Structure 1
């Protein structure tokens, strides 16, 4: 029985991390919508992949 507690704690941590990430993305989307209203183009929360032309730009992460 004691071996199930660490596993359950890990699942709870993974779930809370996923929920926190969803809240962060929802907040970013809400901010983007507020900043661009009224706009004709939809907001994109994620960043596009790097292109060959972007190689000279230093990026974090």
Structure 2
């Protein structure tokens, strides 16, 4: 069974695997983004929709 969630995005390099520490950091950041989005929408009745920015152009 895979250690990734269905919603997890793949890496730019499909042969690179995510280390447990990288996964933990990514999940923590996602959770923080979700929490911030929830706080920004309170007390509205609309569902939470966290913003996920695109990569900055180089």
Q: TM-score, normalised by structure 1?
A: 0.50
Segments ≥4 residues shifted beyond 4 Å: none
Unpaired runs of 5+ residues, structure 1, are 1-10, 48-58
Structure 2 regions of 5+ residues with no counterpart? 1-16
Residues 11-59 of structure 1 deviation map (CA, whole Å, 9 limit, x = unaligned):
8x71110110110010011111111101111112254xxxxxxxxxxx7
Alignment: residue pair count? 41
**CA radius of gyration, larger in:** 1
Q: Counterpart in 2 of 1:41? A: 46
RMSD over aligned CA atoms reads 2.9
Query: Whole-Å Cα distance in 1 between the matches of residues 48 and 21 of structure 2?
Result: 26
Partner of 1:16: 21
